[in-house]
Structure 1
Amino acid sequence: MSTIAVNNTKTIKTLNAIAESGLKVFNNDRYTIDDNSENPDAIVLRSFNMHSMEFGSSLKAIARAGAGVNNIPVDRCTESGIVVFNTPGANANAVKELVLTSLMASSRNLFAGVSWVKSLDGEGEQIPKLVEAGKKQFVGKEIKGKTLGVIGLGAIGALVANDALDLDMDVIGFDPFISVDTAWNLSRNVQRAMSLEQLFANSDYITVHVPLTDDTRGMFNKETFSIMKDGIHILNFSRGELVNEEDMAVALESGKVGKYITDFPNENVLKMNNVVAIPHLGASTRESEENCAIMAARQVKEFLDTGNIKNSVNFPNAYLDYTGKRRVAAFHKNVPNMVGQITSAISNYELNIADMVNRSRGDYAYTMIDIDNKINGDVIPGLEEKISAIDGIVNVRVI
């Protein structure tokens, strides 16, 4: 296993147009942006499909300027010790604003009404009279006093829940995996649902903010629709596959579901009645793109400079205050005695350990060890090779 020595220039490659404010994070003599590089140290991208890409031996990190990583071969990266970052929360406000806009606009039949008014083009002086006669077909309902069910109380869900309370809605939330940070930011007036069934049965509107997994795929289906109130409005700004589209079409036709608002249109969805299909605009704001780019770049730079990991989807978060000492950073299998073998290899060089951290995630783990000794030069000759030879080591570098 090889590494780039500590003062060498690191190469960043982008696979999509990344906001300039994000690229400015790398504006120093230790980094270069080279979109033609075949062997960069890190890649920053948005939606580019990487599944058929071959990775160079120098690649250490991939950062997705956004939340979803379906376009990245995460398992293959993990096996090679390549950290995959995303940017949770960076686009949360943009999505929240569109959810609330859609919630109110669909409740008032605004989208259908505006479309109908445009169809009157050419009616000349009759338009005002036609509008007054036809507007009754678009009578809607107010959201004040209604109950919003929020599934998933992460960065987006928590913002939606809090702001819905400010709009005088009652809010029920369900998230069995809510983080401590989110819990601190969530209003105490959000009612806790003890089960999805409870949320389904008591909501007038439901918005979903969960990742697509085997457990969540098709979670909106004929069985769950049967629990819900008649005329329920469902908002999906997470993943299209959360909804069983066959069952949704039937539920919309019968009126069981009053409206389906989705950011993921396809041919099936466009054929359904009472659908508001939005062209995947959830995170499409200038501010969101900049926030995601800056966050992605900062995470990559922090990892390359110090080894610290934050917001990785395939390796554990790990932080060790960086004081400028030589640092050994090793990815390895999560098996017994790995840390002992790494520290033994270091002690064989008569080096003292100043500090260390070890974190695991599933079958893999990450260890950072700071060396107390003053060392001249960029590398400790032979140390990387010695650690790399340990059975179970994926890769290692000395920072």
Structure 2
Amino acid sequence: MSEAIETFWSTARRAVRSGRLAKLTLSKPRRKDPATPRNLYARPVEVKGEMVLQVTHRYADREEVKNYAPETGLDYLADQLADTYYNGDLFTLDEQLSLLQSRKGNARLRGEPARHETTTVDHNRQKYRDIPADRPYLHALGITTEDAQVTAAGRRKYKQINKFVEIVDKLVQQHPLPAGAHIVDMGSGSGYLTFALYDHLTHTLGLDVRVTGVELRPQLVEKCRGIAADNGFTHLQFVEGYIDSYHPERLDVLIALHACDTATDDALYQGLAAGAEIMIVAPCCQKQVRRDMEVPDDLRPLLDSGIMLERQAAMLTDGLRALYLQGRGYATKTFEFIPLEHTAKNVMITAVKSDKQAGGGAREQWETLKQRFGVRRHYLEELLEKGNTAASR
């Protein structure tokens, strides 16, 4: 065994014993054989109170997962690297090592600083949220190259994907989903976040969920359906339709990212009507309130410029949305999704169904804000009022 290979596996074993292993992948098969997985992806997980090394075998048309005792799993991976794969990548909390082997048998080791935050062992094991760049659907979506390298054009989208998955992970950890939960991504577009979300919830967290992407453009729906089928994502589907016309029998988690103007309100109304456990929206193009706003005299020096008024209208629109959700029993947070240098559409609102009784405080606050800025109507409020009227008939 060469020094490079010995160092790679001794580092891996040390990381496993100390609880500092994040993930380990083997790639670049030595032979083209449909019976050989394209790559192996291993990570530590807790199953029934015991830590195991979970190894995902990724074939062209499916995935198979097997759990091993940690040391046994490393022995298995070492045998696979020796006989079946050329390359290995090891991620620990302290470092990243890449083992590269040539067809002539030469091996070299490349080391880089770790990308992972140092946290407690238990937290890392349960909440490691990185979407690996070697996921086949990322290449199909144009984010990575064939050899699993993030492209220059895909870097911003890859960062968004991982940040989004991190946000959802925290929400479902704090508010566990029921078995068979249905997650709907309203306006799923090209499906970047939809695929990553399904992958993380089903393969990383092992949850029993169904995910549906709703998209108006038929060409995107067909493309996403094909990628889902190619990756064996059996509980991920894409349907063609408008946000306000898709009414599933069950909706546990609502997602609507960058749904333009009142389309965000249509999505929120769907979630409220269905009693969704969690809602996540990143609004954009907030024009409806802007058209109705009247600037208070004492704020004219601040809001006389078009750009400042536009920003104030966006803040008011989203602030009212959060208050409407609070008034109906949801705990809400409004925060920056990702830094502005990655996208200007960077505000996100999350809402989690709360056990606390909804009081009148939120209602009083939104009426005060509406009066302050001369807002006579808000589209979400109108939808809710129509829904209440229809329900009372």
**Fold-level match, TM-score > 0.5?**
no
- Point out the structure with max Rg over C-alpha: 1
Calculate the TM-score normalised by the size of structure 2: 0.31
More helix by share: 2
More strand by share: 2
